[in-house]
Structure 1
Amino acid sequence: MSVDDSLTTYDVQQLRDAFAAIDPQVARFDGPGGSLVPEAVAAAVADTLRAGLCQRGGPTALGAMAEETVVAARAALARFVGLPDPSGVVFGRSMTALTFDMARTLARDWAPGDEVVVSRLDHDANIRPWVLAAERAGATVRWLGFDPVTAELDDLGPLLSDRTRLVAVTAASNLFGSRTDVAGIVGAAQAVGALVFVDAVHLAAHEPVDMVALGADIVVCSPYKWFGPHLGALAADPALLATLRPDKLLPSTDAVPERFELGTLPYELLAGVTAAVEFAEQWGMTAVEAHERALLGRLLGGLAELPHVTVHGRPRRRTPTVLVTVEGVTPVEASRQLAVRGVVAPSGSFYALEAARHAGLGEQGGVRIGLSPYTTEDEVNHLLDTLGDVTAT
């Protein structure tokens, strides 16, 4: 079953029953920071720990089980992001760690005069690794801005040249929810011979991801954003990965993708990845997207009726993530008042520091309201009612 297949009817209450951490007394809008984990994923992690896996391969049944766990996780992640060959899947401690490793590796071939494009709309994990790597190589960083009102990216074209080596861009803003035109960016960047590195961490939690359709060279995501355990994943054509020489231990394998994975893999977390993908396949990311889109319409309509609340960013296409501020109330205080009444909506810039600054919000950012597959209409209504009562103290 693919991640686009789904149950006949999207029954949000049935889905909620799969999560032990859901408390009917608490309305959670903190999904962009990390999803709750269904029982099937927790069980997969626990069962793998109890099995006593230690090292892959060898003559033992446990070694074979460890190997099968890794292979299954690569296959599952490849299905989830639409990567044709699972041997292009690399697992790491986090998306941030994987991006730093890849930046250091790619930058070995950069030189003074080369150029790297980063976006002010991005999470810092898809900015700082490239900025630091470019500085060390003597390459020039070109900044792609965005409209502070709409949170739509500016035109990439003027920033590109035959010296552009890489374009790093988000598929969806974790701060404003903006969906970017990844396919268009890829086409423009590849026309000048540049690689495209796409942060799909936020997008993958809300919509199906298709690497073939996007055309990106490298895509990264974080399974803990969509039902899984805490680790990161990178997906690329194995042929591209074979051309790259990351730092590694001398006795460790030079095979792709293992040459990019430092030390023993966390088998229990990989088992959790497989279970998370299977859970997403059971419900269908297309069905998740439709459910969240309907709730987003209710949320945006309700926010428009609250004159003291400002919505920041009005992109043409967006994920169900909305950043707001309340007149006369700091984001921290607004978040606190919501929490007192059982609404979890955190405040800050959420590591999208360049985006918050560019939009004039500073480091305090705003209150981020994130809808999740398990969010209900009643919870959205409760949020709106509560937000309407947030006032300066």
Structure 2
Amino acid sequence: MGFDVEKVRAQYPALGDGRAWLDGAAGTQVPETVIEAISDAYRAGLSNVGGPYASSRRSSGIVAEARAAVADLVGAPDPACVAFGPSMTALTYRFAGVLAHGWNPGDEIVVTNLDHDANMRPWVQLAQRAGATVRTAEIDPATGDLPVESVVGLIGDRTKLVAVTAASNLLGVMPDLKPITDRAREVGALSYVDGVQHCPHAHVRVGELGADFYATSAYKWAGPHLAAVVAADPWSLENLHPDKLKPSPDTAPERFELGTNPFAAMVGAVAAVDHLAGLDTDATGSRADRLAVSRKAVIAHEEQLANRLFDGLAALAGVRRHGAPQSPTTPTAFFTVPGKAPAEVSAALSERGLNVSAGHSYAWELVHALGVGPEGGVRASLSHYSTAEEVDRLLTALDEISG
């Protein structure tokens, strides 16, 4: 195997502090190559696009390279499918505004209570303004799974859009998307898939998912704070016309990008995709080929760690893991320690050198469906640079705290 977690970790300066960074779902750390790429872009000089000088031409090239890199990462058919923005939430509001145009009373949208609020609230708010009906697919609260039939059964001839996550940011559950997106397409509805937590832990092929739109955030896969919505094909963007400034470009995907693009962050995103493609040193060929091999190696590594984490939590009498998914999952666990507030548990783990998240993590409907309420719980989320030793440190600390 060309994947060596210790060699991978050595590329991340932040990991040298001795702490266990088990909060990847809140944002991964950044390798040296990404840091240097961003710094070098600033050192070389950046100007806005459209000028006749080198720094302006350089920025135009950066944007093109960033589209191509994200297209490789998620298997988009064309870089012109990729539209950038500051965050998935901002981009989803942007797309909701244009996709909801023409919704009327009697129309329906389908959302799920497994989703991060960023893939629910924008659609719900736009539907309410249009007088359209919101239909919510619900998880099985015992397992945390989102049964396919609970979504498909809500999609009908009046459905205009289906919003569904590819991986829960709280439970890690990865629903079976293809039957959902197939049914949406069958009735003429669009599908908008939140891939923010999915992309870091999968070899993504947008076409195989059947998604009309797939959202991803670079800071969840070792890149800077930059997000993208990827359309299934360029035609999907060509036929959408969001509000924009009169003199700004009217071409797609440019018309979806408000103001000046963050060129240095885009350089960092390219470096992050190149880094991911090289995580397995045996990988060869094009960047897309190397990504396929490296993603497979990462998935195998994370599955081993996830099983170690899930089995270890199950063995701790004083810890309750919420959800026991039968579906595939990302290496993410959501749990509580009865009698202790989640923030208290997170603080106690921090004192022991462990970084984990506490709260609802913006999975607003989900924490209520699970019965834990807005106080939420504790989330441990592993990444490609996590180790078995770090998982064991977490389990030992939880045993002490809950005992």
Same fold (TM over 0.5): yes
- Which whole-Å CA distance do the structure 2 matches of 1:183 and 1:10 have between them? 30
Q: Which residue of the partner structure matches residue 338 of structure 1?
A: 349
| 1:33-83 per-position Cα deviation (integer Å, ceiling 9, x unaligned) | 000000101111111122221111332111211111000000000000100
Equivalent of 2:236 in 208, 219, 240: 240
Structure 1 residue 302: Cα displacement: 1.1
Selected match of 1:201 from 196, 201, 211: 196
Q: Size of the alignment, in residue pairs?
A: 385
CA-CA distance at 1:158 after TM superposition: 2.3
Residue aligned with 1:287, SS: helix
1:262 aligns with 2:258: yes
Aligned partner of 1:363 among 360, 374, 384:
374
What TM-score do the two structures reach when normalised by structure 2? 0.94
In 1, Cα distance between equivalents of 2:197 and 2:319: 24
Q: How much does 1:24 deviate?
A: 5.1
Q: Please, what is the CA RMSD of the aligned residues?
A: 1.1
Alignment of 1:239-388 (within 5 A): 239-283=235-279, 284-316=294-326, 317-388=328-399
Deviation string 1:94-153 (CA, Å, 9 cap, x unpaired) is 100000011011111211110011110000000000011111111111111111111111
The residue type paired with residue 348 of structure 2 is: Q
What's the CA shift for 1:9? 2.1
Q: CA deviation at 1:313?
A: 1.1
Query: What residue in structure 2 maps to residue 3 of structure 1?
Result: none
TM superposition shift of 1:189: 1.3
| Distance (whole Å) between structure 1 residues aligned to residue 29 and residue 361 of structure 2 | 18
Pairing 1:84–2:77 present: yes
Counterparts of 1:380 and 1:54, CA distance in 2: 45
CA distance in 2, matches of 1:133, 1:17: 46
SS at match of 2:94: helix
Ranges of 4+ aligned residues in structure 1 off by more than 3 Å: none
Aligned partner (choices 21, 36, 39) of residue 28 of structure 1 = 21
**Counterparts of 2:51 and 2:119, CA distance in 1:** 38
Q: Distance in 2 between matches of 1:373 and 1:72?
A: 24
Report the Cα distance in structure 2 between the residues aligned to 1:298 and 1:108, rounded to whole angstroms.
47
The correspondence of residues 41-120 of structure 1 with structure 2, limited to 5 A, is: 41-120=34-113
Cα distance in 2 for partners of 1:357, 1:179 equals: 19
Structure 1 Cα separation of the partners of residues 253 and 134 of structure 2:
29
What's 1:137 paired with? 130
Provide the C-alpha distance between the structure 2 equivalents of 1:22 and 1:157, rounded to a whole number of angstroms. Answer: 43
Q: Distance in 1 between matches of 2:217 and 2:50?
A: 27
Distance 2:361 2:34 in 1: 26
- Residue aligning to 2:290: none
Is the deviation greater in 43-52 or in 124-133?
A: 43-52
Given that 2:152 and 2:179 are in contact with CA atoms closer than 8 Å, whether structure 1 keeps it comes out as no
Structure 2 SS opposite 1:177 = coil
**Does the Cα contact within 8 Å between 1:347 and 1:368 map onto a contact in 2?**
yes
CA contact (8 A) 1:34 1:224 kept: yes
Q: Is the 8 A contact 2:26 2:357 kept in 1?
A: no
Deviations 1:129-182 (A, max 9, x none): 001111111111111111111111132232111110000000000000001111
Match of 1:163 among 131, 134, 158: 158
Q: Which amino acid aligns with 1:374?
A: Y
**Inter-partner Cα distance in structure 2 for 1:54 and 1:227:** 25
Name the amino acid aligned to 2:116: H
Identity %: 48
Summarize deviations over 1:272-323 as a string: whole Å, max 9, x none.
0100000011111211111110011111111111111111111121110000
| Contact kept in structure 1, 2:172 and 2:333, CA below 8 Å | yes
Moved more, 48-57 or 293-302: 48-57
Which stretch shifts more, 43-52 or 273-282? 43-52
Question: Bigger CA drift: 32-41 or 184-193?
Answer: 184-193
Deviations 1:340-360 (A, max 9, x none): 111111211100010000110
TM-score normalized by the length of structure 1: 0.96
1 CA distance for matches of 2:152 and 2:202?
27
SS in 1 for 2:401: coil
- How far apart, in 2, do the equivalents of 1:200 and 1:148 lie? 22
Distance 1:48 1:181 in 2: 40
**What amino acid is aligned across from residue 10 of structure 2 in structure 1?**
D
- Structure 1: 5+ residue runs without aligned partners? 1-7
Distance 2:141 2:210 in 1: 27
Structure 2: distance between partners of 1:144 and 1:265: 36
